[in-house]
Structure 1
Amino acid sequence: MKIGIFFGGPSREREISFAGGRTVYDNLDKSLFQAVPIFVDSRGNFILLDWHYIYKGTIRDFYPPVSALPESQHKLQVYLESLGELSIQEQDRIIGEVGRRVLPHELRELLDFAFLALHGPGGEDGAIQGLLEWYGIPYSGSGILPSAFGIDKIAQKKLLKALNRPTPEYRVLTAEDWDAAASQGAMLDYLVRELGLPLVFKAPRQGSSIGISILREADAAKFGAAVERSLFRKTVTRAEWSRLGERDKILWVQQLTDIREGIGLPVVLSGKKAELGNTTSADSGIIYHPEALLQALDGAFETANAVLLTNVDGEAQVLVESFVAGREFSCIVVEDPSGNPLALPPTEIVKGEEMFDYRSKYLPGLSRKITPIDLPEAEIQRIREACEEMFRTFGFQVYARIDGFLTKDNQLFLNDPNTTSGMLPASFFFHQAAEIGLNPSQFLTFLIRTSLAARRRAGMQPVRLGGLLQQLDAAVASRRHEERTRTKVAVIMGGYSSERHISVESGRNIYEKLSSSVKYEPVPVFLTGNSQDFRLYVLPINVMLKDNADDIREKIEHAEAGHALHPVLERIRQEASTITSTYAGQATAQPRHLTFAELAEEVDEVFIALHGRPGEDGALQRELEKLGLPYNGSGVESSSITINKFETNRRLREAGLRVAEHRMANRLEWAADAEIFYRSLERQFPYPFIAKPADDGCSSAVKKIKNRAELEAFSQLIFRDQEALLPAPATVLSLGFKEEFPQKEAFLVETLIARDGARHFLEVTGGLLTHWQADGTLAIEVFEASEALATGEVLSLEEKFLAGEGQNITPARYAPEASERQRISDEVKAELKRVAEVLNIQGYARIDAFVRVRETGAVEVIIIEVNSLPGMTPATCIFHQTALSGYTPYDFIDRILEFGKERNARLTAAG
């Protein structure tokens, strides 16, 4: 069955939609479905996307393509709307670089079913559903009317009030009311009098907590900012603007035009028609490009004390609610095979911030998801029944996500139902389905089947859809029989390094790529313990899909302590047995401890998805070799070298490769006399320089040290005795929310690699793959490197690995001319190949480097570090690189596993 996956779209949630569409594309069961990627751009064009663009980190990494971008002094990435008004011919040229335009009437020929991973306006408001109904194409989720109702928060409030259902008190404020108000202070007084404090401000037709603010005090300035946030406006004063330096102005505009947390583009600047060339329409006064906005603001404050920026697609109303203090939860409700709503176990959201905002929803570790919510069974059942009732009342179909609060006095408020949920691997959508035993691939199959039945019930082509249902049911039954013959692969994830959460993201991605294949049966295995005692646990799917590594370890400890399954989970699994018996094959269980010897009895090979120690240091590889288990990546000796950044640098320098000047800084030296320690480093390394752990994974506690205070803070943190961070040094280093910092006996100091007068200077990361040749020698295939753009002083873990967070340009932009770019690229790849040969890298790896291109054309490659087990999260740029060489992520993983098996066979034959 051909499944068209619709993702992207015009809404402010397009990046999450893009990442969710990729999740669906990868997790569709390959023995049942053929995925057809339909990317929807911000103008609503349907594009049959060339498959390799699906694996870009963000939409702006590939669309609009570089060739379509206007000249940009600051090289800012933009969305299509920043190109201004485009003719159909211009749009077709842009579309042609990434795929081909699909007209609505052509969709019927391309696909049998539309899986909607679109969010917000244009995606879950009934618009796309109506178009698909017109052409008789069955689609996922709710129909036109419940979708239109599900996005309109004001209409929902009115219905809940009419039905006497508990919902926070509210008022609606229109843009006209706001603009005409004689006194905004009087308006605030009225709202406080009617609703009390705190007040919650919402953009009524947006999802994902976009445009939401909480006002905790009757402050007129904060009130104005909250209303503007929900209307997607921004007032800027001359004083605010004049305080900013040039670099700060660029960052300010980037944040303002961020579609997730700012107001986005295009905007109208009140009272001014900017004269800004081809990126701005002077006739309409609309500003499309961030650099045009920079110029417009500089010009505006020559005559004005304040200006108002308004997004042209902003909101016309603001929903103002009374604040509900209570425990926040989210519950996925699905239709069972009889068409009745079935609430999955509700998840409590324990926030690290005051609001469960966009970042808290989608970045692992910023909030905790506790499933089921920690309440007595009767209370959880009350939440489930209320969610099922709302599902019925609003006429939702197939599935919905319903959010709510439980107050201290036991009042239950349901709020903001969503007909589409985020579809990242560990989102509520898959997280709660896993509690009844469905992995993402199985859950998607269930949803497609349920959606077909819902469309048929509603009268859409009953004969044709009946045939599709019969075809799918037969294929599902056949698939269950075939599963017994697949190759078993243990996917080992977790660990105890500061990169354990990224390891879980990588491991889940590998698991999901393999579980939807016809060749492999992955077995998720979590590693915990310490360097003297590795402990392995086979994970049930519900534990594997917990939010992060610490949550998984907590569940393991809970099971080890003998705690039984939560009675609510037992109850829900019984209620869902008709679903799981068809799609899951086996019930979920508790985490199960096993030894390495037992692992060798249960699986055929191993994929190590760990980062840092253990995993990349050779210790785990040594254990697997004792048992003859094939594994991915480099062998014991090479891994033990590349984990040590100091030793890696030493060997590369001896081989004639360029590396930064470096030395180790030891705790004993610091403890003996800190002042002498600091002076010694300052004599050898002028500020600023780089400090980082020598034996951890990439980006872990890597800091640019600019002065003595930061050097002292770094040393105090890394040499501290207790696990908890020291508050004062953490503040000096501006450590981010929940940023970890390891404890070490030594750290590595390196000179800061800078432009040094080069014509062009950039940071790159390059992947490679090894193959056995017919004569038994090793061939190294080096991929086109990616250009990595950091928003801060160094690349963060999030920028490297999390969807929508990093900016990676693949291939790297070494030069504007194609022939010159290729010449430089070939030289860079030759240097990366030399690194792999010197360090005896096998399987695959990622090498980070800086590249200088001199005025003479000479190319200098300075190696930063080597990762023998690179991150394999869905958004990591190694998948962008392999796609350019024709490998899908699954092909790449398959080749890595096949190499490990062949290496194992060669070792066995030789030994």
Structure 2
Amino acid sequence: MKIGIFFGGPSREREISFAGGRTVYDNLDKSLFEAVPVFVDSLGNFILLDWHFIYKGTIRDFYPPVSALPRTELPVQMYLESLGELSLEEQDRIIAEVGRRVLPHELPQLIDFAFLALHGPGGEDGAIQGLFEWYGIPYSGSGILPSAFGIDKIAQKKLLTALNRPTPAFRQITAEEWDAADHAATLEYLVRELGLPLVFKAPRQGSSIGISILREADLAKFETAVERSLFRKTVTKQEWLGLSEQKRIMWLQQLVDIREGIGLPVVLNEEPELIYQPEQLLNILNERLQTTESVRLTSVEGETQVLVESFVHGREFSCIVVEDPTGKPLALPPTEIVKGEEMFDYRSKYLPGLARKITPIDLPEAEIQRIREACEEMFNTFGFQVYARLDGFIGRDGNLFLNDPNTTSGMLPASFFFHQAAEIGLNPSQFLTYLIRTSLAARRRGGLRPVKLASLLAQLDAAVAARASEERTRIKVAVIMGGYSSERHISVESGRNIYEKLSSSVKYEPVPVFLTGNSQEFRLYVLPINVMLKDNADDIREKVEHMEAGHGLHPVLARIRQEAQEITNTYAGQPTAQPRRVSFEELAGMVDEVFIALHGRPGEDGALQRELEKLGLPYNGSGVASSSVTINKFETNRRLREAGLRVAEHRMANRLEWDADAEGFYRSLETQFPYPFIAKPADDGCSSAVKKIKNRAELEAFTKLIFREQEDLMIADAQTLHLGFKEEFPQKDAFLVETLIERDGAAHFLEVTGGLLTHWGENGELQIEVFEASEALATGEVLSLEEKFLAGEGQNITPARYATEATERQRISDEVKQELRRVAEVLNIQGYARIDAFVRVRQNGAVEVLIIEVNSLPGMTPATCIFHQTALAGYTPYDFIDQILEFGKARQEKAGVQQ
């Protein structure tokens, strides 16, 4: 069956939609379905996307293509709508660089079914559902009416109130009322009617976009909150003139961000002319705010109303409800979102480790059942179909509030969507199959082409039954993830991605294994799917420890699994189990080879590799000796410098030296390294504690934090370094100090990250394939964790833009690749790796490559740029992983022959 996956779209949630579409594309069962990726751009064009663009980190990494972007020196990312009014011919030229335009009437010939990974207006509001109804194409999720209702928060509130269902008290403000109102009087009225805190929402947005919480009756903060929900921004002359040039650019970056800011294009005051491009907006603001006291910017894709709710003091939860095979709603186990006082915002929703997700919510069984029944009732009341995500609160007084139902849930690998389905034993691939089948049945019940859909249902049921009865012998691969370093959450993301790529293949059977413990003792646990899909490494460790303490299955989970038995018997194939601790010897008896998805220590330091070699288990990546060097950034740089490669000046800063004479320690560093310089751990990655140190206060704060005794951060020092919420900062006995690598008068200067893959030649020699490097664009002082791994954050241009002219660009690229190959040869890297570097191109064309660090087990999360690079070389992510595993197996065979 040809499954058209629709993702992207015009809404502010397009990046999460893009990442979710990729998850669906990767996890569709290859023996049942053929995936057809249909990217929807921000103008609503349907594009049959070339497969390798699916693995870009963000939409902006490929669309609009670099060739269509206006020349600008500003480090600000642009979407298609910033190119202005485009003719159809201009749009077609842009589309042709990434795929081909598909007109709606062509869809019935291209696809049998539409899987909707679109979010927000244009995806969840009934519009595209109506289009598919018109062309007779079955689609996933709810139909036209429930979709239209599911996106409108104000309509939902009115219905719940009319039905006497509990919902937080609310008021609405239209843009017209706001423009005419006395803002102070409005604030006074809302506080009197709803109390404090107040919650402000954009009524037709998801992913916590346009949401604010006002905790005090502060007029300026109140006006900012309303503007945020209307997607407006007022900037004053005093504010603007007080910003440096660099701060103005940072202000602009935030403003044009479609999730945190208001996006482009905008109108200035009430003027008719649209402002499309960041540079154009910056120039206008610089000019106008010399003489005008303030200007107001309004997004052309703003909202016309604001929903204001009373704040609920209580516990927040989210519950996925699916239709069972008879069409009745079945609530999966509700998940509690534990986040302290912070709002469950975009970062907390999509970056692992920032919020805790506890499934099921920690309440008495009767209370959990009450939540489930309320969610099933709302599912029926709103007429939802197939599945929905319902959010709510349990107040301190025990009152239950449901609000903000979503007819399309986020579909990242560890989202509520897959996380809760795993609790009944369905992995992502199996859950998607069930949803496609349920959607076909729902469309048929609704009268859409009943004869055709009866035939499709019969074919799918037969294929699922045949697949279940197949005896397949697949290569068993232990995917080891987790660890105990600051990189543990990203390691789990990498491991899950490897698991999902392998599990939907016909060659491999992955076995998820979680590693915890410490450097003296590694503890290995084989994980069932529901534990592997917990939100992050800490949640998985907690679940494993809970099991070891003798706690059995939660009674609510036992009950739900019983209710879902008809689903799981057909689609899961095997019952869920508890985590099980295994020794290395037991693991060797269970699997044929190992994929190490760990980052930092342990994993990249050779310790785990040594254990696997004792048992003759093939593994990915470099061997023991090479790994023990590349984990140490100081030793890596020393060896590269000795080999004649360029690296930054560096030294280790040791705790003993600081303990003996702190002032002498600081002066010594300041003498050798003029401010600003870089300080970072010598053996951690993922941007953990990498800081640009600009003065003595920051140096002291960094030193105190990294040499601290207690686990918690010291608040004053964390503030000095501007650490983000829950930012990881490891404890070490030494750290690395490096000179800051700068442009140094070069004509062109950029940061790149380059991947490589090794092969065995016909005569057994090691061959190194170096990929086209990606250009990494950092919005802050260093490339952040979010920019590396969070869907929709950061920007990686692949291949890197070394020059505008194609021949010159390739000449420089070849020189860069030659230097990266030398790094791999010097360090004896095997399997695959990622090398980070800065590139300077001089006026005379000379190329200088300055190596920053080497990752022998680079991040393998879905959005990481190594997959962009391998795609250019013709490898799908699965092909790349397969090559890595095959190399490790061949290396083990060679070692056995030599012995």
TM range (shorter): over 0.9
Q: Quote the residue 1:408 is aligned against.
A: 396
Please say if 1:151 is aligned against 2:151. yes
Q: Quote the residue 2:176 is aligned against.
A: 176
1:20-74 deviation line (CA, Å, top 9, x unaligned) = 0011111111111111110000000000011111111111111111111112131
Please say if 1:845 is aligned against 2:845. no
1:454-509 deviation line (CA, Å, top 9, x unaligned) = 11111111121111112111221222234641111100000011100100010000
Q: Quote the residue 2:573 is aligned against.
A: 585
The 8 Å contact of residues 393 and 400 in structure 2, kept in 1 or not, is answered as yes
> What is the rounded CA distance, in whole Å, between the counterparts of 1:377 and 1:310 in structure 2?
48
Change (3 A) 1:711 1:816: same
Change (3 A) 1:733 1:185: closer
Q: Quote the residue 1:190 is aligned against.
A: 189
Q: Quote the residue 1:871 is aligned against.
A: 859
1:866-906 deviation line (CA, Å, top 9, x unaligned) = 11000000010000000000101011001101111111111
> What is the rounded CA distance, in whole Å, between the counterparts of 2:201 and 2:223 in structure 1?
13
Q: Which secondary structure state, in structure 2, belongs to the residue aligned with residue 864 of structure 1?
A: strand
Superposed counterparts of 1:62-77, under 5 Å: 62-77=62-77
> What is the rounded CA distance, in whole Å, between the counterparts of 1:419 and 1:805 in structure 2?
25
2:631 to 635, 638, 643: 643
Query: How far is the alpha carbon of 1:724 from its aligned partner?
Result: 2.0
> What is the rounded CA distance, in whole Å, between the counterparts of 2:843 and 2:55 in structure 1?
34
Q: Quote the residue 1:275 is aligned against.
A: none
Query: How far is the alpha carbon of 1:327 from its aligned partner?
Result: 0.8
Which aligned runs of 4 or more in structure 1 are off by greater than 3 angstroms? 481-484
The range that moved more, 79-88 or 729-738, is 729-738
2:684 to 684, 687, 696: 696
Please say if 1:659 is aligned against 2:659. no
The range that moved more, 202-211 or 541-550, is 202-211
Superposed counterparts of 1:438-477, under 5 Å: 438-477=426-465
Change (3 A) 1:724 1:320: closer
2:848 to 844, 853, 860: 860
Query: How far is the alpha carbon of 1:75 from its aligned partner?
Result: 4.4
Please say if 1:725 is aligned against 2:724. no
Q: Quote the residue 2:302 is aligned against.
A: 314
Q: Quote the residue 2:320 is aligned against.
A: 332
Superposed counterparts of 1:19-38, under 5 Å: 19-38=19-38
The 8 Å contact of residues 493 and 609 in structure 1, kept in 2 or not, is answered as yes
Superposed counterparts of 1:679-694, under 5 Å: 679-694=667-682
> What is the rounded CA distance, in whole Å, between the counterparts of 1:814 and 1:598 in structure 2?
50
> What is the rounded CA distance, in whole Å, between the counterparts of 1:532 and 1:755 in structure 2?
44
Superposed counterparts of 1:278-293, under 5 Å: 284-293=272-281
Query: How far is the alpha carbon of 1:731 from its aligned partner?
Result: 2.1
> What is the rounded CA distance, in whole Å, between the counterparts of 1:153 and 1:75 in structure 2?
36
Q: Quote the residue 1:277 is aligned against.
A: none
1:247-284 deviation line (CA, Å, top 9, x unaligned) = 11111111111110111111110155xxxxxxxxxxx3
Superposed counterparts of 1:260-279, under 5 Å: 260-272=259-271
> What is the rounded CA distance, in whole Å, between the counterparts of 2:469 and 2:483 in structure 1?
34
Change (3 A) 1:869 1:797: same
> What is the rounded CA distance, in whole Å, between the counterparts of 2:697 and 2:301 in structure 1?
46
Query: How far is the alpha carbon of 1:746 from its aligned partner?
Result: 1.6
Q: Which secondary structure state, in structure 2, belongs to the residue aligned with residue 485 of structure 1?
A: coil
Q: Quote the residue 1:787 is aligned against.
A: 775
Change (3 A) 1:352 1:407: closer
1:713-744 deviation line (CA, Å, top 9, x unaligned) = 22222222222222232222222211122222
Q: Quote the residue 1:239 is aligned against.
A: 238
- Aligned partner of 2:402: which letter? L
Change (3 A) 1:197 1:363: same
The 8 Å contact of residues 350 and 790 in structure 2, kept in 1 or not, is answered as no
The 8 Å contact of residues 75 and 777 in structure 2, kept in 1 or not, is answered as no
Please say if 1:258 is aligned against 2:257. yes
- Aligned partner of 2:654: which letter? N
The range that moved more, 213-222 or 127-136, is 213-222
The range that moved more, 737-746 or 837-846, is 737-746
> What is the rounded CA distance, in whole Å, between the counterparts of 2:442 and 2:362 in structure 1?
34
2:508 to 520, 525, 528: 520
The 8 Å contact of residues 122 and 128 in structure 2, kept in 1 or not, is answered as yes
Change (3 A) 1:352 1:861: farther
- Aligned partner of 2:84: which letter? G
- Aligned partner of 1:6: which letter? F
> What is the rounded CA distance, in whole Å, between the counterparts of 1:879 and 1:682 in structure 2?
40
> What is the rounded CA distance, in whole Å, between the counterparts of 1:203 and 1:692 in structure 2?
40
The range that moved more, 875-884 or 722-731, is 722-731
Q: Which secondary structure state, in structure 2, belongs to the residue aligned with residue 811 of structure 1?
A: coil
> What is the rounded CA distance, in whole Å, between the counterparts of 2:16 and 2:723 in structure 1?
26
> What is the rounded CA distance, in whole Å, between the counterparts of 1:372 and 1:15 in structure 2?
29
Superposed counterparts of 1:270-419, under 5 Å: 270-272=269-271, 284-419=272-407
- Aligned partner of 2:658: which letter? W
Change (3 A) 1:802 1:223: closer
> What is the rounded CA distance, in whole Å, between the counterparts of 1:906 and 1:129 in structure 2?
56
Q: What 5-or-longer segments of structure 2 have no aligned partner?
A: none
Q: Quote the residue 2:416 is aligned against.
A: 428
Q: Which secondary structure state, in structure 2, belongs to the residue aligned with residue 415 of structure 1?
A: strand
- Aligned partner of 1:696: which letter? D
> What is the rounded CA distance, in whole Å, between the counterparts of 2:186 and 2:671 in structure 1?
62
> What is the rounded CA distance, in whole Å, between the counterparts of 1:719 and 1:179 in structure 2?
54
Superposed counterparts of 1:722-871, under 5 Å: 722-871=710-859
Query: How far is the alpha carbon of 1:688 from its aligned partner?
Result: 1.6
Please say if 1:539 is aligned against 2:527. yes
Query: How far is the alpha carbon of 1:354 from its aligned partner?
Result: 2.8
> What is the rounded CA distance, in whole Å, between the counterparts of 1:805 and 1:314 in structure 2?
22
The range that moved more, 441-450 or 480-489, is 480-489
The range that moved more, 44-53 or 352-361, is 352-361
> What is the rounded CA distance, in whole Å, between the counterparts of 2:711 and 2:653 in structure 1?
20
- Aligned partner of 2:436: which letter? I
1:107-129 deviation line (CA, Å, top 9, x unaligned) = 11111110000000000000000
1:716 to 683, 701, 704: 704
The 8 Å contact of residues 693 and 746 in structure 1, kept in 2 or not, is answered as yes
Q: What 5-or-longer segments of structure 1 have no aligned partner?
A: 273-283
Percent identity of equivalent pairs: 84
> What is the rounded CA distance, in whole Å, between the counterparts of 2:670 and 2:178 in structure 1?
57
> What is the rounded CA distance, in whole Å, between the counterparts of 1:625 and 1:218 in structure 2?
64
> What is the rounded CA distance, in whole Å, between the counterparts of 2:650 and 2:185 in structure 1?
63
> What is the rounded CA distance, in whole Å, between the counterparts of 1:125 and 1:569 in structure 2?
33
Please say if 1:229 is aligned against 2:228. yes
Query: How far is the alpha carbon of 1:352 from its aligned partner?
Result: 4.3
1:565-621 deviation line (CA, Å, top 9, x unaligned) = 110000001101111111111111111000000001111110000000000011101
Q: Which secondary structure state, in structure 1, belongs to the residue aligned with residue 617 of structure 2?
A: coil
- Aligned partner of 1:338: which letter? T
> What is the rounded CA distance, in whole Å, between the counterparts of 2:843 and 2:56 in structure 1?
32
1:224-243 deviation line (CA, Å, top 9, x unaligned) = 22221111111111111111
The 8 Å contact of residues 755 and 761 in structure 1, kept in 2 or not, is answered as yes
